Amino acid sequence: MSGLTHFDAAGNAVMVDVGGKAHTERLAVARGRVTMAPETLRTIEAHGFKKGDVLAVAQLAGIMGAKKTSELIPLCHPLALTSVKVELRPDPAASAVEIEATAKVAGQTGVEMEALTAVAVAALTVYDMCKAVDRGMRIGDIRLVRKEGGKSGTFEQG
């Protein structure tokens, strides 16, 4: 069925059998952003939200999200992640918080979904913590920017 790996010949959803694949070091990097009013970003930078340090809480939430990916995304393999790093950086010029997540595993399948989930959960956490003062925030541009390891090799885009 069009080369999609999560469907069998009859079109039924299946979890891909990775049992015969070699264990290799795999890495994925994903990015995204939360765009907001300039005052909201200034409040984040000044640690002015009563709920706590927005960037620190979102960083932790992103790491936790990566660890829960197989519970959130159907047909995703549970992975023994060896590393998850989530960085959030204020970008005053864009009035946004830029988010980057890097996930690593030594295994039989990639970690793209874990990196993407980490970014999405971190972005949702920023929104949740700031929504009382800025309901117009926008979460966007979540994308895979790098993948290493496995049979398909390296993928990279800006």
If DSSP codes are grouped into helix, strand and coil, which group holds residue 86? strand
What integer pLDDT is reported at residue 9 of this predicted model? 73
E-assigned strand segments in 17-95: 24-35, 83-91
Higher pLDDT, 10 or 104: 104
pTM for this model (two decimals): 0.88
pLDDT tens digit string along 45-55? 999 998 899 99
In DSSP terms, 146 is beta-bridged to 29, 156
Q: Which is the catalytic residue, given 53, 91, 128, 141?
A: 128
- For the question of residue 128 being annotated catalytic, the response is yes
